Amino acid sequence: MEAQNGSWVHEITYLRISVTDKCNMKCSYCRPLNIDYIPHRELLSYEEIRDVVSIMKDFGLKKVRITGGEPLLRPQIWNLISLLKAQSLESISMTTNGTYLKEYGKLLKDAGLDTINISLDTLSQDKFKHITKTDIKPVLDGIYEASSLGFNIKLNTVLIRNFNDDEVIPLVEFAKDVNARIRFIELMPVGKLDFFNKSKIVYNHQVYELLEKTYGKLIALAPDGSKSAKRFLIESINTEVGFISPMSSPFCDGCSKLRLTPEGTLMYCLRTNSGINIKKLIREEGIEAFKNMMPEIIRQKNLSNEYIINNDYNFLDCNRAMTSIGG
Ligand code: SAM
């Protein structure tokens, strides 16, 4: 069966692996204030994750991203990176809030981590505290450490109307100073949190216009990674900016990305609740059963893409918070 729009995918190229739902931050747009954490025994082990990745490589997997919750809260996460490094993937990256990078950056580098995405929505201590309920200093220290270790760094920024949308230029300048790229991510209604309100979304075309007004014409670059970011070079400061626009310009057509939740569900998308519990499959029937299931998983991923496209890219029935899916 082929999708009517011809965008049927035949392989899964990108996997986002969430290793924990725990986080030291309590970002208002990401998680409810009080949540019950998944017990450790319910989490996929590093060896189970490695086996899943190894099977998926036979079905097109090229890139993985480790995320959470806060992935640096999972003990000795560098051991997982070493296991994945041995799989000869095109890239292994991590999304982190940066708090523990000063402490663990070198271990991550030595284990073979290629790229780090560090979330940073503001440079103001007060606003940082307001949104995350923690201090900004360890995060800035972590960014400097990652920069001095020579990591390929991307800063992830979620803009919120009338909160941090006046910081676009300072954040871009900060990215330049630490030799990082910056990604502006549109606020999404994931997890149906009270915080979300459409009026808080800052659409990326507005950010683009502000950047062109400030720096002159942006130069379009070819897509990379999961192809979710539209990338541009700000030539005058030699800094790359990316726009991830799930609200104004969804990228579901031809999407070949899956998410693995900490407790072992493969999810097709943030916009729906659908997924398949592969931990149960692996623990009860073995990793071969997962291999045999992969063609069906790819078929389901395509059906999920179609379902979302046919429903105007709405965030339909996904009521899990971002922190427990893996952002
Ligand atoms: N703890 C890590 C961190 O802070 O980067 C990784 C997990 S966090 C869920 C991953 C990314 O998801 C962060 O960059 C965060 O800003 C983004 N995110 C969380 N909730 C979001 C939402 N409702 N809309 C857009 N981005 C969101």
Q: What is the 3-state secondary structure of the chain?
A: CCCCCCCCCCCCCEEEEECCCCCCCCCCCCCCCCCCCCCHHHCCCHHHHHHHHHHHHCCCCCEEEEECCCHHHCCCHHHHHHHHHCCCCCEEEEEECCCCHHHHHHHHHHHCCCEEEEECCCCCHHHHHHHHCCCCHHHHHHHHHHHHCCCEEEEEEECECCCCHHHHHHHHHHHHHCCCEEEEECCCCHHHCCCCCHHHECCHHHHHHHHHHHHCCCEECCCCCCCCEEEEEEHHHCEEEEEECCCCCCCCCCCCEEEECCCCEEECCCCCCCEEEHHHHHHHHCHHHHHHHHHHHHHHHHHHHHHHHHCCCCCCCCCCCHHHHCC
Does the Cβ of 96 fall within 6 Å of ligand 1?
A: yes
> Cα of 192 to ligand 1 centre, how many Å?
14
Does the Cβ of 97 fall within 6 Å of ligand 1?
A: yes
> Cα of 188 to ligand 1 centre, how many Å?
10
Determine the residue of 72, 95, 159, 161 to mutate for testing ligand 1's pocket, defined as the one with the most ligand atoms within 8 A of the Cβ atom: 95
Kindly report the number of other CB atoms within 10 A of residue 285's CB atom.
12
Does the Cβ of 322 fall within 6 Å of ligand 1?
A: yes
> Cα of 327 to ligand 1 centre, how many Å?
5
Does the Cβ of 187 fall within 6 Å of ligand 1?
A: yes
Half-sphere exposure of 127 (CA within 13 A, CB side): 15
Q: Which atom of ligand 1 is nearest to the CA of 191?
A: 23
Q: Which atom of ligand 1 is nearest to the CA of 186?
A: 25
pLDDT in tens, the chain (327 residues): 554 556 899 999 999 999 999 999 999 999 888 888 999 999 999 999 999 999 999 999 999 999 999 999 999 999 999 999 999 999 999 999 999 999 999 999 999 999 999 999 999 999 999 999 999 999 999 999 999 999 999 999 999 999 999 999 999 999 999 999 999 999 999 988 889 999 999 999 999 999 999 999 999 999 886 678 999 999 999 999 999 999 999 988 899 999 999 999 999 999 988 899 999 999 999 999 999 999 999 999 999 999 999 999 988 777 788 888 887
Does the Cβ of 68 fall within 6 Å of ligand 1?
A: yes
pTM of the model: 0.96
Residue with CA at minimum distance from ligand 1 atom 25? 187
Does the Cβ of 23 fall within 6 Å of ligand 1?
A: yes
Q: Which CATH number fits domain 14-325: 3.10.20.30, 3.30.565.10, 3.20.20.70, 3.30.429.10?
A: 3.20.20.70
